[in-house]
Structure 1
Amino acid sequence: MPTATPQDPPAPPDVVVIMTDQQAVGCTAASGGPDTMPRTDALLAGGTRFTRARTSSPLCVPARESLLTGRFPSAHRVRQNSTARHALYGTDLLDVLRGCGYSLHFSGKPHMHPGPSDFDSFTGPFLHDHGPGAEEDGFAAWLRAMDHGVAHAPTPFPVEDQFPHRIVDGALASLEAAPTDAPRFLWVSFPEPHNPYQVPEPYFSMFEDEVPPRATDASVLDGMDWRFRWLHRLFEEKRPGFDDDWRRFRANYLGMLRLIDEQIGRLLDAIAAAGRDTIVVILADHGDFLGEYGLQRKGAAMPDALMRIPLGFAGPGIAAAEREELVSIVDVLPTLAELLTGQIPAGVQGRSLLPLLRGEHAPEEEFGSILGELGFGGVSYDEDARPPLHFPYEGRSLDELNSVTMGGEMRMLVRGHHKLVVDDRGRDTLHDLEADPLEIHDLSGDPDRQGLRAELHRELVRWMLRVADELPEGDYVPRTRPHHWRWA
């Protein structure tokens, strides 16, 4: 009788994370908008797309730290774009991958606690107005002169100068040089479609006739949170008439998405040609006002225009499905950790989505609500505040992230189609996202909604207890459940 030969375990798949910066939901054909990203939509049509995903925080570094650590900002402690080096965690995504024998590669915009020395190859940093060697880069100098504005003419530089093209060049070079006898992790991080809003032809004109009408303008701000009004006044004071550009801004934004998508296509073609099993994760860090409320960029409160993100997984073993569960950027690390190791590291607060990627049932109690966080700390200002900022009130230059509209603390809970937002001053707003997706009408004072409002407050407290930090580990081992599903 022949002796059975032990089978080698299957090789781990390559893992590729593709992240855009400030990409709003609703700007692709798959999410109900123009056909801006056909390659990305086609990839996720064969994978799992989460149609109601949220970010942990509506600004870059806190959200990216949540991706890397699987923790909410109140736990990883990074709540501003300037504090990534202070991230608090036990095991991050790079630790998980390195422990599984992966070579690690990065190309693009970092805005995170790991640096070049934490990767086997690193191309960057590419930020919104400069790239490597920026002092000799004519395109980057042109971007800086735009001062994060809106271009009214096509960018006078070819596609090859655009950061998405150069970032994919770097990614392809990393894959070509990576060892073939080990699994590979590649993080491709595009600074676009974040401002400045610019794009060369043919993308500049590509969507001029398909710009979706906006549903709101600044006239709705009187009934909304004061932070929206404060930010609008700041923009109008420094750049009078800035909102007149909303159609051009939207056309540029859509064109930027098509340019990004074509570069993603170059990367996907190379991955397919390599013939290796590959898990691809596609997401954004947060959204963009996209001209709604008479605002561009971000920087005020927690509307779904900023909190919702595209999120999808594709690759071997991942079901073709659209899922409506309320999931988060925080869930990416535990998902990959469980896929690769069967375990979720201590201190991780997200939930593994692995059963969902396999097409399995998701319990309503676990995935029927989600938390979001915002706030630089301290105490929230009032609407008439005008404290010193990190930029002058005079002149055109501004930063939408400032200590007034981002100060204090805010927390968001979405449950079903209702959303509650509270702040440290005891103010709250309640919205019906089905009837009022842009959150213009506050229902918190409606006598008929007080029972619902109380239920959402209780659910928010439950979430805030859930994300209390369990690090550092001590002698007593907390109870855990499979997939980190505490409420299943």
Structure 2
Amino acid sequence: MPSQEKPNVLIVMTDQQRADLTRATGFGLDTMPALDALGEAGAIFRNGYTASPLCVPARVSMLTGRFPSAHRVKQNSTGEHAYFDRDLLDVLRDHGYRLGFSGKPHIHRPLEDFDAARGPYWHTGGPASSEQDEAFDDWLAELDHGVGAEPTPFPLEQQLPYRIVDGAIEVIEELTQEGDPFFCWVSFPEPHNPYQVPSPYFEMFGEDEVPERLAGPETREAKGPMFRWLGDLFESKRPGFDDQWRRYRASYYGMLRLIDDQVARLLAQLGDRAEDTIVIVVADHGDFVGEYGLQRKGAGMPEVLMRIPMQISGPGVRAGQVLDEPVSLVDILPTLCEMVGARIPDGVQGRSLAPLLRGEPAPPHEFDSIYAELGYGGVPYREDERPDLHFDYDGPTLDELNTVTMSGGTRMVRSGRYKLTLDSEGNVELYDLTSDPVELSNLADDPAHASTRADLVQLLGRWMIRVADDLPRGVYVPKTAPHHWRWAPAASTKESS
């Protein structure tokens, strides 16, 4: 039990971190040893999923416990339009927490809504406390979201994760002066592009150590028009961009280690307060990291974009758990509600994971599948179209290029070894993730898998009904169940209104 009445809460979020590139997930290189050790002291979810493979929709989902179709933020430019009853900040403030933030926001709330904040940081810079910081930020901007071919010519102290952790340490000191429990969200812009690291991280993982890709650029044809379009757009702006894939991957691994070292520095600074702190480590979404000959994100819902690292440790968490239940970013809010003794707000669609964290068995009917969303609506653009962007199609700049290929809408469900997606044009894709982890063989029209397709289409339909928004509240109040476990067997979960 924590020494204070309520535990502190620390959320560490990375941006665009693929889930399968740490030693704890079976990867051959030791990219994040400190976070692996932290996960071993708590619970690691091997099948964590984003709610949407795009920054702002995913982050709003985490804070509101709602999927994008409910909170209505489906692209990065519409965060201020989020629709919800009460979010994580509201819940924790109402329960006596002081709120802190350091890093990249990209959410629906202004930094003024926190009691102490450092930022905003973006992928090309943030608050600068020295001329050296300013020079580094200018250098980042000149890299133009590309891949650094040489070690970054600035010391570690100029890197954004270092400056963000400095800010987080200051924020936590401010928040704890009065003795109240604190919530601090530390949000790193990395390992999102631009892909760069200083020595020794640049040399830490050599290009000759980079494992072969599971799927190269030749597979884009099989993946369909959005994958082809994204690759062609990259190639038109930066010819030969995929030639750098080994350097891109090696630097990505180095960025992970740099982040890991800075999180370790933050946790060491917590000292005795760490025993009273729930620590959640998560990412907003994944990164191609060279699969399909692509960088970043922007096409489809492959596992490399949808699966995210997710681990929870601290008070109320039984140590040494590695859980296979599929879980989502939307589950974080209801989980924290239960762990701090708060009521889950109206309109929340996630499920509390608190019983699982305590070591209790998960009801299979509730935790045998997961759902996610993609797309900002409308009729999907064709790959020969050039809809308006906030930058020119000519020239090398490609900051938000990936969002062009997120038009229309797609919904995903995974259950066991199978995954099914359905888009707004009626296209169905079905994959066996065990035998086909990069999803190249579409089994949707295979007669041998007809029953699997039918079962998953029905399951997807149930999920889409489940996440239909029940806000605003009216005279008739929807019935809720403990932990928000709507599909748990009646024998193990007694519903209450």
TM-score normalised by L of structure 2: 0.94
Partner of 1:207: 205
Q: Does 1:23 align with 2:17?
A: yes
**Contact 1:380 1:404 survives alignment (8 Å):** no
Partner of 1:250: 249
**Contact 1:299 1:400 survives alignment (8 Å):** no
Letter in 2 for 1:63: A
1:169 to 166, 170, 176: 166
Q: Distance in 2 between matches of 1:445 and 1:289?
A: 27
**Contact 1:124 1:132 survives alignment (8 Å):** yes
Partner of 1:11: 5
How far residue 243 of structure 1 moved from its aligned partner, in angstroms, is 0.3
Partner of 1:196: 194
Q: Distance in 1 between matches of 2:87 and 2:401?
A: 26
How far residue 448 of structure 1 moved from its aligned partner, in angstroms, is 1.0
How far residue 363 of structure 1 moved from its aligned partner, in angstroms, is 1.1
Partner of 2:229: 230
Q: What secondary structure, in the 3-state scheme, does the structure 2 residue paired with 1:394 have?
A: coil
How far residue 134 of structure 1 moved from its aligned partner, in angstroms, is 9.7
Letter in 2 for 1:171: A
Partner of 2:445: 445
Partner of 1:40: 35
Partner of 2:238: 239
Q: How large is the RMSD of aligned CA atoms in angstroms?
A: 1.6
Q: Does 1:56 align with 2:51?
A: yes
Q: What secondary structure, in the 3-state scheme, does the structure 1 residue paired with 2:359 have?
A: coil
Letter in 1 for 2:358: R
Partner of 2:85: 90
Partner of 2:268: 269
How far residue 482 of structure 1 moved from its aligned partner, in angstroms, is 0.4
Q: What secondary structure, in the 3-state scheme, does the structure 1 residue paired with 2:145 have?
A: coil
**Contact 1:135 1:141 survives alignment (8 Å):** no
How far residue 428 of structure 1 moved from its aligned partner, in angstroms, is 1.3
**Contact 1:154 1:199 survives alignment (8 Å):** yes
For residues 478 and 439 of structure 1, do their structure 2 counterparts lie closer, same or farther at Cα, with a shift above 3 Å needed? same
Partner of 1:103: 98
For residues 57 and 406 of structure 1, do their structure 2 counterparts lie closer, same or farther at Cα, with a shift above 3 Å needed? same
How far residue 27 of structure 1 moved from its aligned partner, in angstroms, is 1.2
Q: What secondary structure, in the 3-state scheme, does the structure 1 residue paired with 2:431 have?
A: strand
Q: Distance in 2 between matches of 1:39 and 1:247?
A: 25
Identity over aligned residues, as a percent? Answer: 58
Partner of 2:142: 145
For residues 239 and 412 of structure 1, do their structure 2 counterparts lie closer, same or farther at Cα, with a shift above 3 Å needed? same
**Deviation readout 1:283-336 (Å, 9 max, x if unpaired):** 000000000000011011110110000001000221120000010000000000
**Deviation readout 1:191-232 (Å, 9 max, x if unpaired):** 000000000000000001432221111111121121001100
Q: How does 1:379-398 map to 2 (within 5 A)?
A: 379-398=379-398
How far residue 450 of structure 1 moved from its aligned partner, in angstroms, is 1.4
Partner of 2:428: 428
Q: Does 1:155 align with 2:152?
A: yes
Q: Distance in 2 between matches of 1:113 and 1:234?
A: 30
For residues 125 and 403 of structure 1, do their structure 2 counterparts lie closer, same or farther at Cα, with a shift above 3 Å needed? closer
Q: Distance in 2 between matches of 1:373 and 1:337?
A: 24
Letter in 2 for 1:27: L
How far residue 402 of structure 1 moved from its aligned partner, in angstroms, is 4.9
Which 5+ residue runs of structure 2 have no aligned equivalent? Answer: 489-497
Partner of 2:184: 186
Q: Does 1:464 align with 2:464?
A: yes
For residues 9 and 197 of structure 1, do their structure 2 counterparts lie closer, same or farther at Cα, with a shift above 3 Å needed? closer
Q: What secondary structure, in the 3-state scheme, does the structure 2 residue paired with 1:367 have?
A: coil
Q: What secondary structure, in the 3-state scheme, does the structure 1 residue paired with 2:308 have?
A: coil
**Contact 2:298 2:403 survives alignment (8 Å):** no
Partner of 1:286: 285
How far residue 436 of structure 1 moved from its aligned partner, in angstroms, is 0.5
Aligned length: 481
Letter in 1 for 2:451: G
